[in-house]
Homo-oligomer: A and B are copies of this chain.
Amino acid sequence: MATLGDLERAVMDLLWEHPEAITANALRDLLSQRPSGDGDGQESRPLAVTTVLTVLSRLEKKGLVERERSSRPHRYRAVTSRADHTAELMLEVLGSAPDREAVLARFIGTVSEGEAATLRKLLGRD
């Protein structure tokens, strides 16, 4: 239930950047600006608004997006912050492992020194 498609991802990224709920049209405009990921300079296609709406509906069904049906052009916002979402995903991945500690060991071995420091601080010394 975790993975998002490219477009879904792009939409979520925009919603995460936006504190305010925004309309599908606004999203479409923002999407048409940002480079489509791959290095190709292709300025690419402006998506149809219905496309954005479809994606938003799917994200809503997945519980990642919430919409204000009150205001007329509906406005959408992310339900959780990106950090929360990412952390949840990580936990989901970790959760299915019977050997959590071993996983954490490998994991820790890879984070940068600065992040390690952050982690130490977060864990406290108790």
Q: Which residues of A contact B (CB under 8 A)?
A: 2-3, 81-84, 86-91, 93-94, 96-111, 115-116, 118-120, 122-123, 125-126
Instruction: Determine if A99 and B123 form an interchain contact, defined as CB atoms under 8 angstroms apart.
Output: no
User: How many subunits of this chain does the assembly comprise?
Assistant: 2
Could you tell me the distance in whole angstroms from the C-beta of A28 to the nearest C-beta in chain B?
A: 23
State in angstroms the CA–CA spacing of A99 and B85 once bound together: 12
A sample of 21 inter-chain contacts (CB < 8 A) reads A82-B98, A83-B97, A83-B99, A83-B105, A83-B106, A84-B106, A86-B93, A88-B106, A100-B115, A101-B118, A104-B111, A104-B118, A104-B122, A105-B118, A108-B122, A108-B123, A116-B123, A119-B119, A120-B125, A123-B123, A125-B125
